[in-house]
Amino acid sequence: MLPSKRGCSNCKRKCSILVQCKCEKIVCVACRYPEDHACTFDAKKDHQEKLRTTNIQCVAPKVDTI
């Protein structure tokens, strides 16, 4: 929650409770969902990138031949 005297960037209402979305827009509680304020942030792509970078590869050691 961001204390601000500005209003929602979507509906232009002045609200006491504002939230900053991942698309850098400051929206009110009624407009906080991505489909309500036409969010440009791609959550699926961000999640896949986070998994790709933080996922540990589980590789077993190779068996030595005799």
- pLDDT tens per residue across span 23-64: 988 999 988 888 888 888 888 999 999 998 998 778 888 888
CA-wise closest residue to 40 among 20, 26, 22, 28: 22
Q: Which residues contact 7 (CB under 8 A, 6 or more apart)?
A: 13, 14, 15, 28
CATH architecture of 1-61: Irregular (4.10)
Q: Is the pLDDT of residue 4 over 90?
A: no
Rounded CA-CA distance 40/11 in Å is 17
pTM (2 d.p.): 0.58
Task: Name the β-bridge partners of 27.
Answer: 19
pLDDT band of residue 5 (cuts 50, 70, 90) is low
